[in-house]
Amino acid sequence: MRRLLLLAGIAAMLAAPAAAQMRPAEPVVEAELSSEQAEILALEQQWGQAFLDGDYDFIEALVAPEFHLVVHEGAPFIIPREPWLANTRRWHFASFTVEVLDIAVTGDTAVAVLRGTWQVDEDGVRIIDEAFFLTDTFANRDGNWQVIRRHSQTIADNMPADD
């Protein structure tokens, strides 16, 4: 009887759709990361703080010359490094928080998955107040990690209601 129940349980697990086996992502646990993953985690945290501090020297060193921001707001947009930097210099970051959910490193490439929130003002007017999901792709060049792509997606169900 036990064997029959065990086999039935295994069969049920194998038959379960993948969606039923998914669970919400949780922030990475620093103690469980490799040294390379910990380095990417630190860079992500420093990047967020650099937005708040207006540390554009750090940001310019972190984003590679071929960096592009990829966003989808009704239609896909690909924004090259210089226009993206110009926007960030105009803005005042009232808040910027991120949680790193996953970091994968293979060779000279790393990918970090994050979720967060931000509030941005321009000329004293709040222009952004939203939650987002990010995927950053890093390349390691001569021992230094640089971001070559950032994909940003607004999390619609956490956005404030329009007035």
Mind listing the pLDDT tens digit for each residue in 53-106?
A: 999 999 999 999 999 999 987 889 999 999 999 999 999 999 999 999 999 999
Contact yes or no for 104/113 (Cβ under 8 A)? no
- Residue 2: pLDDT above 60? no
**In CATH, what class is 26-158?**
alpha beta
Output the CA–CA distances (angstroms, integers) from residue 129 to 31, 104, 143, 160, in the order listed: 32, 29, 36, 7
* pLDDT over 90, % of the chain: 73
- Residue 16: pLDDT above 70? no
What is the pLDDT of the chain when averaged over all its residues? 87
Burial class of residue 26, CB neighbours in 10 A (0-12, 13-18, 19+): exposed
Model confidence at 52, in pLDDT bands (50, 70, 90)? very high
Which among 124, 87, 116, 123 is positioned nearest to 99, based on CA atoms? 116
Report the pLDDT value the prediction gives residue 5, as an integer from 0 to 100: 45
Contact yes or no for 108/139 (Cβ under 8 A)? yes
- Which residues does 2 contact at the CB level (< 8 Å), separation at least 6? none
Report the pLDDT value the prediction gives residue 6, as an integer from 0 to 100: 44
Which among 102, 115, 105 is positioned nearest to 138, based on CA atoms? 105
Following DSSP, what letter does each residue of 4-43 receive, concatenated? Answer: HHHHHHHHHHHHS-HHHH--------GGGS-HHHHHHHHH
pTM: 0.81
Report the pLDDT value the prediction gives residue 72, as an integer from 0 to 100: 86
Report the pLDDT value the prediction gives residue 21, as an integer from 0 to 100: 67
Q: For the chain, give every domain's residue range.
A: 26-158
